[in-house]
Amino acid sequence: MRKLLLALVLSLGVVAWARAQVNDVVILDRLFNDDSDSISSHIKAFPIVLLTDNKVDGDGSDPEFANRHAWFASYDGVNVAQLPLGTVGWTASFDLTLIGAPASPRKEAGFLLRIEMPWGYSEGQFIVNTDAGEVVAFGWPFPFYSFNAQHGLSYTSGQTLHMGVKLYRDPADSLVKVVYQAGGYSSPALALDYQGGLGNWISLGGYLQVQIAPNPANAGAALFNNISVVPEPASIAVLGLGVAALALRRRRR
């Protein structure tokens, strides 16, 4: 009977984990819209997203910096998912191919990471770019990490690079931590730089950004393939075991 109860609880945990997996995205077009008459498009066919922006040559009105287009994990394809960050951690990954035509001025793409704050949210980035070849994470309160400096990893336009992030609250010290992954390398588990006011949710997504240049051929495209945003199975298993232990103890009584 105990084995049956344990199997049932673990099965429920597996079902909950499967249902918690994200199976759609929402597109947020023109988060930066400094060239309003560029020709942008997107294709959404989860687990694939393609973002493009062409003729990014400026529209004659300040500011003339860049255009940015993004996607975020979603359960319904309409609303950005606010994923609970507590006892359950989250892992997101994709295969990114960024093309810059030309490579300079900068085209960049990668992760956008939002975390709840008292004033709304703060945003971090984990990106590659076409002009400096960087593979780098930054954006307060997310800790800075350079794969160029730590692993000698560099990015070139047109390269496909597997990238991932893991965000979780470490039960050993209750700190929210992140692990960055790129090209088979992983960062250490890095505590976020600000802990006291962190909220209870994160949103995970990706973006393309194209800097403006006085060149009608200036364009960029980012293909995100094999997108995956899932809760940590280990976290679900631990929760299931805890529930099973509690149920067994009550049965003994």
Indicate if the pLDDT at residue 190 is higher than 70: yes
* The amino acid at 252: R
pLDDT computed for residue 250 by the predictor: 43
Indicate if the pLDDT at residue 123 is higher than 70: yes
Indicate if the pLDDT at residue 27 is higher than 90: yes
pLDDT computed for residue 19 by the predictor: 46
Instruction: Kindly report, residue by residue over 127-164, the tens digit of the pLDDT.
Output: 999 999 999 999 999 999 999 999 999 999 999 999 99
Q: What is the mean pLDDT of residues 116-131?
A: 96
Q: Which two tokens stand for residue 159?
A: 């390269």
Structural domains in the chain, CATH included, are 23-231 (2.60.120.200)
pLDDT computed for residue 15 by the predictor: 39
Instruction: Kindly report, residue by residue over 213-244, the tens digit of the pLDDT.
Output: 999 999 999 999 999 999 986 544 444 444 44
Q: How far from 165 is each of 37, 231, 234, CA to CA, in Å?
A: 34, 12, 16
pLDDT tier for residue 173 given thresholds of 50, 70 and 90: very high
**Percent of the chain's residues with pLDDT above 90:** 80
pLDDT computed for residue 233 by the predictor: 66
Residue 94 and residue 163 in contact, taking contact as beta carbons nearer than 8 Å = yes
pLDDT computed for residue 88 by the predictor: 80
Instruction: Kindly report, residue by residue over 53-107, the tens digit of the pLDDT.
Output: 999 999 999 999 999 999 999 999 999 999 999 878 999 999 999 999 999 999 9
